[in-house]
Structure 1
């Protein structure tokens, strides 16, 4: 996925799939996949998507949502990750790191507020490679999955990466946090598996019903799905820009990385993400059946202005402060 902006420009005629922005919906300690019914959950998440989001979500969430922070108007799915915090090297206090819209989408997403970029790709970014692949089958209502784990203590699997933004350059991919300040912020990517067992909407670990055949890089040719997970689904990917630049002056030269995930993840290995499917009807399937264009499903999907999408909100279910200088991370003991 290195230098994806340049790659997309060079391969524009052969893209297959979707790419679109979603504004931030909320920052809260809720996790209806890993900790359903818990309010609050263990750590703060950055959440985008439909306003049906709450602590416990089952069935067809698209039928219960009335708006979405995503550009695709029929996408009431929810997408969320852990939240990045800056830990002050001197006094140990924490401050939530702001989120910026992903740079390559700024020109086409005026009105986006924070959020992340979502990809649904077919096999990879080259439509010619689809000819030898089985048809893409989209997820059914009630489907959910996760990728990564906050307890990971070693290099995460392919697709969970960081890049240090400098100007228009994203730099090399890394499996851990950058070791020096990034003038443009920290770019985080979470790439989900794309092979489904075809039966289970979830699994006890929220991952076993899926299988990842990619071994080298996120946006590359994916080998065939195994017999245990024979259904090829869209490859779902998130991209987030954490605006760490405002804290660079507080990072003393030569000292360790001061950024932590909201579960006190001082190592970047714990990066993870959750997905809750919520597309209306067959809107996503229609887009995945197209292979001649990228970004908007060949016009098969209705888009809304990001200024409208950004007005979609949910209530604060937990009622705690997650921003500003904090003596401890929300949910964490002193």
Structure 2
């Protein structure tokens, strides 16, 4: 079962400054680490860069939007058992002085320490206004962020893609748009927050972004209104991914010039290319029920499963390649670039 509210009260109230505490917070263990991307590179066996994927085991090389993942998946890595969605991000690597790369492992968040990697996922309903929150529909998918971005100005186009240098497991302050410049005692947390306004018509768009938008002012947390072009309020979808960089905190391992040594699997050493992908796959109207009920952490309206059960759901790699040793290049031959 999911942890009770008091376990996370301090963490949650620090993370979300909403007028009411209504949100789903749950663990999704690692499903597979795979060089596939059914949104950007559908049908391609071997996408340009490596991803870490969580959620239902229907994830595949080409996901037909007319078929819900919940209709094909036999298990999910998430603790809400009716969530067969797929969530994915790039993978973080350590670049050694000799130019080789080592994949950084993911560890469980506060309260989810038993999870085998993965992410913490949040869905929060809109708490202001009379319209309520419209849950995502079958076939809905979206992307936030751009892996080609390498500057702060570019990264600011996406309001809430950040990093937290964890001083301890509960650190929730000091977010930056780029990779932390100093060793982080408890690891680096990548924060991926998606837009919260929908055009109400398109379940996807050619760039997987145009059908959604940020509030016209402020952020979701500050209650900013949706633009007229995207009037429908959708849940705030938010990933927290904790990369266990602690084995590389010795500054003697870092570049001689003192610059930070971490790089994304798409060749980004700045951190400005942070991004995330989402394919909706909740069973039936389960997510809408949770949003209507304003569930707070625990949700009696939803079925749950243990983290141990979620850990048992996995997939085999389709693109067979070594990901665990010291690599002479990033998977897929991605080059490290600063422009």
- TM-score using structure 2 length: 0.88
Structure 2: segments with no counterpart, 5+ residues: 1-8
Q: CA deviation at 1:227?
A: 1.9
Q: Is the 8 A contact 2:132 2:233 kept in 1?
A: yes
1:17 matched to which residue of 2? 23
1:126 matched to which residue of 2? none
1:97 matched to which residue of 2? 104
2:94 to 74, 77, 86: 86
Q: CA deviation at 1:170?
A: 4.0
User: How far, CA to CA, are the matches of 1:41 and 1:210 in structure 2?
Assistant: 25
After alignment, is 9-18 or 48-57 more displaced? 9-18
Q: CA deviation at 1:6?
A: 6.3
Q: CA deviation at 1:32?
A: 0.7
Structure 1: segments with no counterpart, 5+ residues: 124-128
Q: CA deviation at 1:330?
A: 0.6
User: How far, CA to CA, are the matches of 1:148 and 1:295 in structure 2?
Assistant: 27
2:290 matched to which residue of 1? 287
1:61 matched to which residue of 2? 69
Q: CA deviation at 1:134?
A: 1.2
1:276 matched to which residue of 2? 279
- TM-score using structure 1 length: 0.90
Give every structure 1 segment of 4 or more consecutive aligned residues whose post-TM-superposition deviation is greater than 6 Å.
9-13
User: How far, CA to CA, are the matches of 1:209 and 1:55 in structure 2?
Assistant: 23
Query: Alignment partner of 1:270: what SS?
Result: coil
Q: Is the 8 A contact 1:158 1:215 kept in 2?
A: no
User: How far, CA to CA, are the matches of 2:23 and 2:42 in structure 1?
Assistant: 31
Change (3 A) 1:197 1:242: same
2:133 matched to which residue of 1? 136
User: How far, CA to CA, are the matches of 2:298 and 2:78 in structure 1?
Assistant: 13
Question: Do structure 1's residue 265 and structure 2's residue 268 form an aligned pair?
Answer: yes
Q: CA deviation at 1:248?
A: 1.5
Change (3 A) 1:10 1:154: closer
Change (3 A) 1:305 1:189: same
User: How far, CA to CA, are the matches of 1:252 and 1:99 in structure 2?
Assistant: 23
Cα deviation per residue 1:219-253 (whole Å; 9 max; x = unaligned)?
61232212211111111000010000101222257
2:241 matched to which residue of 1? 240
- Superposed, 1:30-179 pairs within 5 Å as 30-58=36-64, 59=66, 60-88=68-96, 90-103=97-110, 106=111, 109=112, 111-123=114-126, 129-130=127-128, 132-155=129-152, 156=155, 157-167=158-168, 168-179=170-181
Cα deviation per residue 1:233-278 (whole Å; 9 max; x = unaligned)?
1110000100001012222575111100001111110000000000
User: How far, CA to CA, are the matches of 1:265 and 1:112 in structure 2?
Assistant: 27
User: How far, CA to CA, are the matches of 1:164 and 1:329 in structure 2?
Assistant: 24
Query: Alignment partner of 2:249: what SS?
Result: helix
User: How far, CA to CA, are the matches of 1:171 and 1:136 in structure 2?
Assistant: 27
Q: CA deviation at 1:322?
A: 1.6
